[in-house]
């Protein structure tokens, strides 16, 4: 999909559906064994469980989302707060 597609949806007064909380959905795709208490699990999953992240994105597409966002919602603030060190 492209920006043009989204522009066409908006021009036709159609709602544009965005995906939701990828980090919240990851336990379902990953079998419930995710460290939910870990602040950066959603971002860490990109490296440690990429198939689970892909599965979550595919679920959103299957349910009709027009826009799929990256799974990096907290990365910038975590890098800043942690001095750029994600994994010690």
Rounded to a whole number of angstroms, the distance between the first and last alpha carbons of the chain is 38
Confidence label for 85 from pLDDT (cuts 50, 70 and 90): low
| Residue 62 tokens, joined | 């299957």
pTM above 0.85, yes or no: no
Q: Is residue 27 part of a domain?
A: yes
Q: Is residue 4 part of a domain?
A: no
CA distance 60 to 73: 17
Task: Give the pLDDT confidence score for residue 20 in this predicted structure.
Answer: 85
Q: Is residue 8 part of a domain?
A: no
| Residue 38 tokens, joined | 């870990």
Instruction: Name the helix (H) or strand (E) containing 69.
Output: none
Q: Is residue 6 part of a domain?
A: no
Q: Is residue 57 part of a domain?
A: yes
Q: Is residue 73 part of a domain?
A: yes
Q: Is residue 86 part of a domain?
A: no
pLDDT per position as a tens digit, 14-45: 999 999 888 778 877 776 555 555 656 677 78
Q: What total number of domains does the chain contain?
A: 1
CA distance 23 to 20: 9
In order, the DSSP letters of 37-62 are TSTTHHHHHHHH-HHHHHHHHHHHHH
Task: Please give the residue range of the domain that contains residue 40.
Answer: 19-81
Q: Is residue 11 part of a domain?
A: no
């Amino acid at each position: 999909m492209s920006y043009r597609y989204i522009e066409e949806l908006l021009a036709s007064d159609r709602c544009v559906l965005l995906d939701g909380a990828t980090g919240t959905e990851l336990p379902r795709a990953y079998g419930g064994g995710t460290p939910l208490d870990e602040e950066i699990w959603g971002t860490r999953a990109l490296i440690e469980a990429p198939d689970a992240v892909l599965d979550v994105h595919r679920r959103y597409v299957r349910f009709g989302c027009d826009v799929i966002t990256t799974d990096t919602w907290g990365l910038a603030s975590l890098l800043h707060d942690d001095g750029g060190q994600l994994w010690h």
